[in-house]
Amino acid sequence: MTTPTEQVRNHPETLPTETLKASINRQMIVILDFGSQYSELIARRIRETQVYSEVLSYRTSAEHLRQLNPKGIIMSGGPNSVYDKNAPQCDPEIWQLGLPILGVCYGMQLMVQQLGGGVERAKLAEYGKAALHIDDPTDLLTNVDEGSTMWMSHGDSCTHLPEGFTRLAHTENTACAAIANPEKKLYGVQFHPEVVHSVCGQALICNFVYHVCNCEPTWTTEAFVEESIREIRAKVGDKRVLLALSGGVDSSTLAFLLHRAIGDQLTCMFIDQGFMRKGEPERLVEIFDRQFHIGVHYINARDRFLTAIDGVTDPEEKRRLIGHEFISVFEQESKRLGPFDYLAQGTLYPDVIESADTNVDPQTGERVAVKIKSHHNVGGLPEDLRFKLVEPLRKLFKDEVRKLARSIDLPEEIVRRHPFPGPGLAIRIIGEVTAERLNILRDADFVVRDEIAKQGMYHDFWQAFAVLLPIRSVGVMGDQRTYAHPVVLRFVSSEDGMTADWSRAPYELLETISNRIVNEVKGVNRVVYDITSKPPGTIEWE
């Protein structure tokens, strides 16, 4: 088991990407990540103010930050105590940059410690909601209401402040809940303003971004589209680009953006592995090829994939074999349709933060593809099949992709499509996957989607789908005993899929879906409802 310090994400100190190169000329706030589970959330909250933000390692040097020239820095929370032997430390020269800095929880304690104050184990730890009592309602706490609920998560507290610092707020158990050195524009909060539980938390963040850092709201969807098109055209030139289209919002948005930038230089490949929902492959081709005139090469590989997982019951083995078969088909078809210089991938900013598996061409310095990150859960590409990467979405979070999708006229049915796993229905059939079971689940899933759409409830759920169990149960239909499959309904509510709660769907809706499935889907005689949250369960069953 790793220690808390070892669990801190180790981002590269410098990221040789178009993102950082472009960021040098853009107003931005840098978040230094000390291992907090909320670091990405801080970045998202900053972007909600229409100001660009990036998450970097706490190891980032002061010199590198000087080169990036951000408008301000936020130091995240983290799992350590600042007085631990191997606690993560930032470059002490950062305090001399003259930039506004906001320390959040661990970030505040590190600020206090490195600048000459004291931090010790608190007599009373503070977790969860706490009322914030404001001592100075100006500057950082402008428009933050007295008694506002803030989310606490700390066992340490500041015992005395560094020279030049004053207290801005306190709670019942924490004497220094917010602090400031206004002259040097150094601020700290012991709570987490970025989480939804913190009332007025976003007001505090806006104060830091707009009033302390003097940022302007220039990070807009329109500006991103214009910048991306310029970058794509400059990078690609007259070369051809290949995109593996899945039908999800990420790859679909990428296809629309690339087509707007380079037109027919883009080739979209859609590999139908036979595990999609009823009517989806046909609808995908209809939307892209016929409605928007974005050419899609449709590859029917259903038999190949079904053969590849014949008799397989282990879920991880299913995923591995499906990924391997996808690579095989992709390699064969890309050579047939090629040659291509570039591979377009729907890499998002969380992938950039979490992953260091970049491969750089030693001659050009550009990233090259050794892995496809898509909705297909694909593994590594063969060594001799190498592309340079085009990743226009790598600066964006998921919610930003949806905003972008709407701005470039992606159909709403794709923009708000429920998340769908790469292996598709193959992992919603527990156990062995057969053509018969696929047909049963595909029909049951269609009833679920059709009914919640009819009742105007499709967007009330993060996901709503059916699962087919590999057992049979006794039933009675038409005065005769039946021995057929049960179907599980799984409806969940979530903001990002990391955690989820089972949805309290109306009984009338569940009753209608149950009646339709039993009556319309041959091979099913029982419908049950999954009331497990994540954790302890997962959203998918496999």
22-33 confidence digits (pLDDT tens):
443 468 999 999
- Is residue 90 flagged as an active site residue? no
Whether 200 sits among the annotated catalytic residues: the reply is no
| Catalytic residue chosen out of the listed positions 18, 54, 90, 105 | 105
Q: 106 pLDDT exceeds 70?
A: yes
Give the tens place of pLDDT for each residue, 280-293. Answer: 999 998 889 888 88
Residue 288, C-beta contacts closer than 8 angstroms, at least 6 positions apart: 245, 252, 255, 268, 294, 295, 296
Q: Are 136 and 220 in contact (CB under 8 A)?
A: no
Cβ-based burial of 32 (10 A; exposed 0-12, middle 13-18, buried ≥19)? buried
Q: For 493-535, what is each residue's pLDDT tens digit?
A: 987 676 789 999 999 999 999 999 999 999 999 999 999 998 8
SS3 per residue for 170-198? ECCCCCCCEEEECCCCEEEECECCCCCCC
Euclidean distance between the first and the last CA atom of the chain, given in angstroms as a whole number? 25
Q: What integer is the mean pLDDT of 19-24? A: 41
Question: Pick the catalytic residue: 194, 325, 451, 542?
Answer: 194
SS3 474: strand
The 10s digit of each residue's pLDDT in 245-298 is: 888 889 999 999 999 999 999 999 999 999 999 999 999 988 898 888 898 999
Q: Which of 170, 192, 259, 485 is catalytic?
A: 192
Q: Quick check: is 126 catalytic?
A: no
Answer whether residue 153 shows pLDDT above 60: yes
pLDDT of 371 strictly over 80: no
Among 10-14, 41-45, 192-196, 430-434, the range scoring the smallest mean pLDDT is 10-14
Q: What is the dihedral of CA 532, 534, 538, 541, to 10 degrees?
A: 20
